[in-house]
Every structure is written in C-alpha cells, then in structure tokens.
Amino acid sequence: MSYPTFELLRSQSIDALKIRVEEYRHKVTGAQHIHLAADNNENVFLVALRTVPHDSTGVAHILEHTALCGSQKYPVRDPFFMMVRRSLNTFMNAFTSSDWTAYPFASQNPKDFNNLLDVYLDAVFFSRLDELDFAQEGHRVEFAEADNPNSDLVFKGVVFNEMKGAMSSVSSQVWHTLCKYLYPTSTYHYNSGGEPEDIPNLTYQQLQDFYRTHYHPSNAIFMTYGDIPAAVHQEKFEEQALSKFEKLDEIISVGDEKRYHAPIAVEEAYPLDENDADDIEHKNHVVVSWLLGKTTNLDESLEAQLISNILLDNSASPLQQALETSELGQAPSPLCGLDDSSREMAFVCGLEGCALENAAKVEAMILGIMQKVADEGVPQEQIEASLHQLELSQREVGGDGYPYGLQLILTGLTSATHRGDPIALLDMDAALENLRLKTQNPHFIQETVRKWLLDNPHRVRLTMRPDLKMNGRIQAAEIARLAQLKASLSEDEKQTIIARTHALQERQLQQDDESILPKVGLEDIPANLHYTAGSHESFHNFPLRRYSAGTNGLVYQQITCKLPALTDEQISLLPYYSICLTELGAGEKDYLANQRWQSQVVGSIHAFSSIRGAGDDVQKIDAYLTLSSKALSRNSAAMNDLMKNTLLHVRFDELGRIRELIAQNRARREQSITGHGHSLAMTAACAGMSPAAKVSHQLGGLEGIAAVKALDNSLEDEKNLANFATQLNAIHQLVLQAPKQFLIVGEQEHLDSYRDDLQARWTNEITRNDFASFDLAPVSETIREAWITNTQVNFCAKAYPTVPSEHPDAAALTVLGGFLRNGYLHRAIREQGGAYGGGASQDSNSAAFRFYSYRDPRLSETLKDFDDSLVWLQETDHQWQSVEEAILGVIGSIDKPGSPAGEAKSTYQAELFGRTREKRELFRNRVLAVTVADLKRVANTYLVPEKASIALVTHAGHKELAEKMGLTLKTC
C-alpha cells in the first residue's frame, strides 16, 4: 500500500534474501522509491542523486560536504555532525561516487530514525549552501599570517586536503589515470572527488548551479529497508520535501562511451618520495584494461563476473597464477578484477614492480593467457567453482561493515542510477541458473573471453612510472600559482580575503541553538546490552561453542589454538605464518590444487592471530591463532576436511610460493599507509604502553611495514628463503601441540549435523602438561617518532597511558574521547585546521588514550590543539547535554548490530579473552553513569604532559620540523 502521491509500479518477494522489493514512483516529480520490506528493526534510508560532473573540480564531492552544513528548517552551522552526537544511529554518512551522491543512515530506534530523516531530507533538498561553508569545506585562499597581507597566500579547505591525501595513494593515481583513457568522453574521465590542482577552479556560483539541477526530486532515488512500511516513509517524503517541487524537465544521465577502434598504450608518471628511491627502476605499474558491457544488463554483468572469477579468483586461476609467478613484476596490481560501479563495466589486470622496458611484455603475457583460455577453455570443475563463489556471495547476509540493509540498497543503486532494473540485481537466482545453463555449452567460456577481451578493441595499456622530482614540481606550481594570484590582488581584494578569514573564524566559533534539532536521550537507550548467546559444550575433550543465527544457508567455522611460547624472532614472523597457512599446499596437494579445492568448497578461508592484554592488567597478555572459514550448508563436511587438512598438513616446502606471498604482502601493506595513516600513527604512539600494543606496532603497524620490506629484500637470497621456510615450519609444529577449541555458527536446524561432522573428523584432544603459552615482557616507555613516507598530508597522534577495560575509570575515558571530539577537536582540527578528520578515543586493550588527525595539512599546530582541548575541558563550564551526547555515541557503538554470523563470532572472540557478558554489561552501565566531574577527573589523573607519546606520519619535506620537535625520524 502506497501513500496517495505515490503509485506502486511492482512488488516482488526475494526469498533468498528474506525481503520483498517494492518499486514506487512519485506522481508529480517522478522521484523513484525502492523499498526493501524486511522483518528487521534496523531501518535504513538512503537518498541518491545522479551527479555527473564534467571536470575534476570535485563539484559533486564539495557539494556533498556543503549540503550538510545547514538547511532552511535547521539553519545551524553543522547539523550533520550535531546529529551524529544527538542520535543512536547505527550508520550515518554521505558518499560521492563517480556518477551518484548518496546520503544514507540507519537506526534501530524509530524515534531516532524519524529525527534523522527530518534532518537529511531538509539538508538534501533545502540546503542553505552558505558561501562560508563552501570556503570551509571546498577551498579558499588565506594569508599564511591571517592579518598580514604581505605574507604568502595558502590554499585551505577540507576537501582540498582530503583529496591531497587520497591522491597520495599510488593505486589511486593509477586508477584515476586509467579512467582518463578508458573513458575518453564520459563523466568517468574526470576525478569526481576532485584533483587538488583543479579544485581551486570551482566557483561558488558553479556549486549553486550544480545543486539546482542535480539535487531535485526528479533526479532522486529514495531507497529504504526494514520493518517500517513504505507508505509511512512516503508520507514524510511528501510532507517534508516532495510537495514543494514540480517536475524537472532536464534529465541527468551518463551517455554511451565513445569506443576505440584499436587498443592504445599510454605512459604517465606518478610522484614518489625520495625516501622510496631504492630500486626505483622496478616501481613501475603496468595495467591493461577493457571496457565491457553495461551494468544494467544483468546477463552481461554476470558473464563478466564469471569470466573475472575464472581468470582471477585465486592463485590457481590462469591469469592470477601468471601474474603471481611472473618475473616481469613483483606482485599483481591492486586494481585487478572487474569494476561494475560505472554505467559500463571495466576489467583490469596487471603488475606492479615492473621494469619500464617490460610494459609490452606484460601486456603480451596477459593476452597470451587469454588466448590460451579461448583456445583450450578451462576445466568444468573450475567453472563450477566460480559459479559456486557467485552463489555464495549472493546468499551471504552481511552487516559487519555497513548495515545489511544498506549493502542490499547499494547493490541495487548502480542499476537504479542508470534507470535499469535494481530488483534484477537483487533477485539473481533465476539469472544465476540461466548462467549455469549457458556454461553447459563447452565453448561458452572460450566464446565469452573472445567477445569481451580478445576481440574487444577498446583496450588500454597504462604504464605508470615513478618520478622523484614530481612532488617538488607540483608544490612549486602551487606556490607559483598563489604568488601570481597575490601579485594580481588589489589592496581592497587583500582586505576582502582577510575579512573573509575573520568571518569564517567567527562562524566556526559561533554557538548555534542546537535545541532546534531533534534528539534522543538516555531515556531512549535500551535497558540491556544486546547479547548473542551460544552453547558451552565439548566433544572428544575439545571445547565447542555453537551459535544459532539466520545465516541464509551458510555455515561459519573457526578452529582456535592457544598461541604457544615463541622467541622474539618467531613472534616477528607471526603475520607471515598466518598468511602462508592457508595459501600453501597441504598434504599431497600443492598450493594450486589446494586453491582449486578451496574455491570449490568454501567462500573464504584465512588465519589470524589475536594478542590482547587482560581486562584488569594490560601488562598480562593472552593470545590465540584462529583458522576461520565459511561455506554453503551443503559443503559443511567438505569444509571440515579442508580445514583439518590445512591445519594438520600445511607444507612449507613450496619456497617459490612463499616468496610470492611475501612480495604480495609487502605491496599491499605499502599501499595501505595513506588510507590508514591515522590508525598507524596511533598504533605507533601507543607502542610503549603495553606488550600487546608494542607487538601490534611491530607486526601490523609502521614498524611491521618497514620489516616486511627488509624481509622481502632478504628473500632474494635462496639460503635466506630456505631458512625462512624452516622458521615458519618450526612455529607450525608448536601450534600443532597447542590446545584447540571450535566455533560453529549456522541455522538452528543444521547445528547438530555440523557438530557431528566435527566429531567424525577430530579424535580425542590430548592435554599436554608441558605446553607453554605465549607471553610477552611488560612494556612502559615514551615514544616520540616521525615516520617519513610518500604522502602529501600528515597524520598526527598523541597518546597517554591509562587503564584497562575493567577499571572503573575506563568508561569515563571512553566517553571523554567523544566529548573532546564533539566539543573542541572537530572544530579546531577539521573546520579551522582543514584536516579531513580528527578526534580522540580510549583504547582499553592497550590502556591508552589517543588523540589523532587524518589527512591533515598541519603538524605542530594540531599537537597544540590536542593540548588545548584539555585546557578547554578543565576551564569551561560544560552543560549536561554535551556529556549526554558523548554517552549516546559510546552506547551507539556498543549496541551497533553486526551480521548474524558476525555477532556470534565477535562474542566468541571476546569471551576467549574473558570479555564476558557480565563484564560488558558492567562497562555499559558505567558509561551510562558518567558525569562532567568524571571527565575532568580522569583527564587530570591520566592525561599529564610528561607521560605523553607522539607519533607522526608525514613526508620528507617535514624532516627538519620533526627534528626540531625532538622526534626520532623513521622510514617505512
């Protein structure tokens, strides 16, 4: 049943996803509403606008930011971030894609959902677009000394600095350069996020013009999920937005791309810091890409996914195997795979770490593999394995990263954006069966590879080479541009810049009347912690936990071993041992046969180690190794065979494969720095506060990245490689002697059979009295480091030793993080400082309180902001509402739901380390009881200057500044 101003176009149940999809159209404006009705109280809303920029000024991205800075009904400066802290949302954000901009949120609380809906609808359709907000979020020029017109001009702006950080990533550089050639005429030719040197070209008038045409209901797609009926949503859409509009005649769309009649080969450069100049001749990237069919054509989309899976799914796939074993490069490109986020799909493959002269050889190798597939085909079992992977990905109930409903919505959004059939992308059972029938034709794969790849002339080979001088030229060009601008300014224009600087500062400092915004309070918080209960049982002396969950025909299993006592050298090898455990051969199978087996049986299999401090003393640690997998229910027994064979019979004699795995890991981790710089900086700053924090920095942090580079270089020596494999095997022999326990997550009706499968395969556990558990020496030291890497922006962290999770003060410290972010740090670091983000948090696992900034143009000034926030805390008379908002944020994080399987696995892992339901409930209750006095007291007690540690991630241009700050320079 629809609201009167909407008409129902169609309705379709999708049993596999336990949803009913309803498609509606608004009678006046033509706005589309797609509702996914589900028996789930985590309701999701998203409104998407088709946004099609024709340059790289970042107009859609800057508009996304600016639209959330105040609206007609809510004329406050920052309603979005205000609502973040006045809400119990389980998700709240905004996205800019290459051809759409979306504003999604989710909440389990009906009152909260309606509050957020009010604010989002007004923000999107009735935004104020204040020119000062455009200056803050997009770009502006200011004098380096705000009141001195004789000082240098500088560019500022949140998006400007965000994109400087984003484009510091080499893989981002490669992708956007590839799109420039792969899409020569359509919107994908441009960087929708904005190129830093193009962003200052965007005018305020252009932003307003783009808003008027693109942010109109006629160009909008409303999507909802959950147990609130569609008509209830539609009434609000109508009353709060749609009734104020007429139909817009202009149709926003992406046209067909101009197709090449012959392949092209291009070469461009990317900037590389001089600290990374070692082996520069092998830091080239070579990728080959094809433009395929339309994402709105489900048959073509599934064919492309199948071909991509067959070629690249695992190390036994023909193209993936060739890329991993090729001597032409160090590792497969991170871009390898199918991109189906645009109107027309792209298939990409290639290598990184190539010599420049080998670019044509890389392309020839790739084409040779495809020609072989076209000539000889692939075994039917490999086709069945790829179909199996497609089925599993379609069935899995997600929700651990994004809410499950939002995942489903985003699945259908690409098709809806291009006026295709979003329901078809959700209801894929019939299409998958049709694809399965097609594959019965023994020539189908060969014909499809020829059609989409070998005989497709729209092919681009891109070579990206490093240029050590390019960053300097980019900076010099920016300085020259600003100098030329300054020289052209009249005295009146200089005073106008100064006046705008002051006006923006006053706007950032003004106290808005937050009472006009809706809110929830502590009274709206559920009384009890949501808890996923599992069984506590055993078989053959093995502890077993079983959890009943709505997994839609999937089963999840983990085998957990106590980590044994290891030497310091063995501890340093733990990450590589975890990687190799599931990537090598096992028993009689070599790694290729094992990869094929995995693809046929499971959706994924991986191993990881967990090292945590005790809840009452972080200097005491516990540690486990977990082997984790998931499969379709029908493959439960086969998954058990695979996991047992993997754990008991992994072989470390495949030296070439081990060498490949380390090179691939090095490449992935080097690329991760600019995307996770704030986390890496915080990990480094906390490394002196507990043994678990120190080992986290050594294994997974900046020190670990430096270590894998050194390890990778050392393994070029065959003796070193053989010794490395021997060391991994020695760790494994110790793990085999460790006590083990098991986890099973699945639907209730299958749990007994899953347990029976385990019992049939594992004999009695033998308790070893001589087993020595993993242990680490206590740690207590102060860190002051600056890590130099290839980045245009900075990541700052400052940390203080505090208390573990079970200490009564842990709750107040946790609330303090949100309180400082909401009340001081967001304004000082993001709005005034221009960083993309900043904040503070308590990490009870490390017993550390951490300040951080993300994609930050500043260093010492940000560290001062951290300190000033503590002065503000003590000297300001704070209102209770600010404390309540910080508490809401913590409780929202604690209560945020995951996927059915994810919640069970999280509970299991927490209880391994003694985080019982009772302890988690106690912590939650302590959070609810925090007061202003508690916040001031814990800050006074623990956040004292002489105990502070500092870690920065920055670039070579800041070496001298870092040294003046008394920091030790390190490179990664």
Strands 542-548 and 740-746: parallel
Beta bridge partners of 794: 856
Question: What's the number of CA atoms in the CB half-sphere (13 Å) around residue 191?
Answer: 23
Helix or strand or coil: residue 172? helix
pLDDT tens digits, one per residue of 884-924: 999 999 999 999 998 889 999 999 999 999 999 999 999 99
Lookup: tokens for 234? 């539609």
Query: Does residue 280 surpass a pLDDT of 90?
Result: no
- Comparing 731 with 552, the larger pLDDT belongs to 731
Average pLDDT over residues 602-628: 96
**CB-count exposure of residue 939 (10 Å: 0-12, 13-18, 19+):** buried
Encode pLDDT of 201-211 as tens digits: 999 999 999 99
Domains of the chain (ranges, CATH numbers) = 6-166+180-247 (3.30.830.10), 278-467 (3.30.830.10), 537-677+691-761 (3.30.830.10), 784-971 (3.30.830.10)
Residues annotated as catalytic are 64
pLDDT score of 166: 87
Q: How far apart are CA 597 and CA 649, in angstroms?
A: 15
Q: Is the pLDDT of residue 495 over 70?
A: yes
Burial class from Cβ neighbours inside 10 Å (0-12, 13-18, 19+) for residue 477 reads exposed
Lowest mean pLDDT of 129-143, 395-409, 450-464, 727-741, name the range: 395-409
Q: Identify the pLDDT of residue 767.
A: 63
Q: Locate 867 and state its tokens.
A: 């300190």
- Cβ-contact 138, 58 below 8 angstroms: yes
CA dist 486 and 967 (Å) reads 35
Range of weakest confidence among 307-321, 396-410, 843-857: 396-410
With 70 as the cut, is the pLDDT of residue 493 above it? yes
The angle formed by the CA atoms of residues 521, 527 and 530, to the nearest 5 degrees, is 110
For range 236-257, the mean pLDDT = 95
Residue 426 is predicted with a pLDDT of: 85
What size, in residues, is the chain?
972
Of all helices (H) and strands (E), which one includes residue 288? strand 284-294
The backbone region for 896, taken as left when phi is positive above 0, alpha when psi lies in -120 to 50, beta otherwise, is beta
Neighbour count for residue 916 (Cβ, 10 Å): 13
On the question of pLDDT at 235 being above 90, the answer is yes
pLDDT given for residue 499 in this prediction:
96
Q: What percent of the chain has pLDDT over 70?
A: 99
Q: State residue 825's pLDDT score.
A: 97
Q: How far apart are CA 268 and CA 289, in angstroms?
A: 16
CB 836 within 8 A of CB 855: yes
What's the predicted TM-score (pTM) here?
0.93
729: exposed, middle or buried (Cβ count in 10 Å: 0-12, 13-18, 19+): middle
Q: What is the pLDDT of residue 765?
A: 65
**Mean pLDDT computed over 333-356:** 96
DSSP secondary-structure letter at 674? T
The answer to whether 109 and 88 have CB atoms below 8 angstroms apart is yes
Average pLDDT of the residues in 377-387: 94
Alpha helices in 128-182 (DSSP H): 131-137, 158-166, 170-182
pLDDT digits (tens, 9 = 90+) for 633-685: 999 999 999 999 999 999 999 999 999 999 999 999 988 888 899 999 999 99
At 282 the pLDDT is: 83
Percentage of the chain exceeding pLDDT 90: 88
pLDDT digits (tens, 9 = 90+) for 457-468: 999 999 999 999
N- to C-terminal Cα separation, the chain: 59
Q: Give the chain's mean pLDDT.
A: 94
- Please write down the HEC assignment for all residues of 757-773: HHHHHCCCCCCCCCCCE
The pLDDT value recorded for residue 401 is 81
Show the tokens assigned to 354: 């190539």
| Euclidean distance between CA atoms 431 and 408, whole angstroms | 17
User: What integer is the mean pLDDT of 800-820?
Assistant: 97
Both tokens of residue 906?
């999280």
3-state secondary structure of 4: coil
Q: pLDDT-derived band of residue 430, with 50, 70 and 90 as boundaries?
A: confident
Q: What is the pLDDT of residue 766?
A: 67
Q: Is 720 in contact with 728 (CB distance < 8 Å)?
A: no
